[in-house]
Structure 1
Amino acid sequence: MIKLKLSPIADDRPVKVTLELPASLHRDLKTYAEILGRESGQPATEPVRLIVPMLERFIATDCGFAKARRIPDPDP
């Protein structure tokens, strides 16, 4: 079994976002959605639904960002 960084996408109310992606990134998102669906036994989700959980995961695991958040801004 492949270990992906994302878990299955929760079925919540969608929010409309307009975003322009390079074609290669869209293909990668589509492939990721297909693999995620196959690994979780669910149908592939729309690639756009991966963007928010991927960004949340990226931010949650970015040690530099976490450290910067803890340091108070000297110029409030």
Structure 2
Amino acid sequence: MSTLKLAGLQDDTPVKMTIEVPADVHRDLVLYAEVLSADGERTYAAAQLIAPMLSRFMAADRSFITAKARQVVGRSSSGALAHPTSARGAG
């Protein structure tokens, strides 16, 4: 089993996005997918890694966590966010 920080990816309903990344980032994503796939449990494509990597990055970013907490505190009495900054659901 690999010791990579990105493991145990969950299936989720995706939202289609088109992005451009520098060639060196793409090469690293392809290599990361190959290493992660080497465990043999599942084969990953480079594009499948982008969302989990961003999610883990945001979860570890203390500034984002603090802003997210402020957002939760700012909910109106109806439960809607006072100033929604993300279309992503809680998770």
Query: Which letter maps to 1:69?
Result: K
TM-score, normalized by length of structure 1? 0.74
Asked whether the 8 Å contact 1:26–1:47 carries over to 2, the reply is yes
| Equivalent residue letter for 2:61 | D
Q: Any unmatched runs of 5+ in structure 2?
A: 75-82, 84-91
Distance 1:55 1:18 in 2: 15
TM-score, normalized by length of structure 2?
0.63
Change over 3 Å in CA distance of 1:70–1:11 after alignment to 2:
closer
Q: Could you say which residue in structure 2 is the equivalent of 1:27? A: 27
Aligned position for 1:63: 62
Give me the identity figure in percent. 45
Gaps of 5+ in 1: none
- Tell me if structure 2 keeps the 8 A contact 1:8–1:37: no
* 1:35 partner amino acid: V
Structure 1 residues 64 and 37, CA gap change in structure 2 (3 angstroms):
same
The residue matched to 2:38 in structure 1 has which SS?
helix
Instruction: Within 5 Å, give how 1:1-76 maps onto structure 2.
Output: 2-39=2-39, 41-71=40-70
Higher share of residues assigned helix: 1
Deviation at 1:49, TM superposition (A): 0.8
Cα deviation, residue 50, structure 1? 0.5
Instruction: Look at both structures and tell me which one has the larger radius of gyration over its CA atoms.
Output: 2
Higher relative contact order (CA 8 A, sep 6+): 1
RMSD over equivalenced CA pairs, Å: 2.4
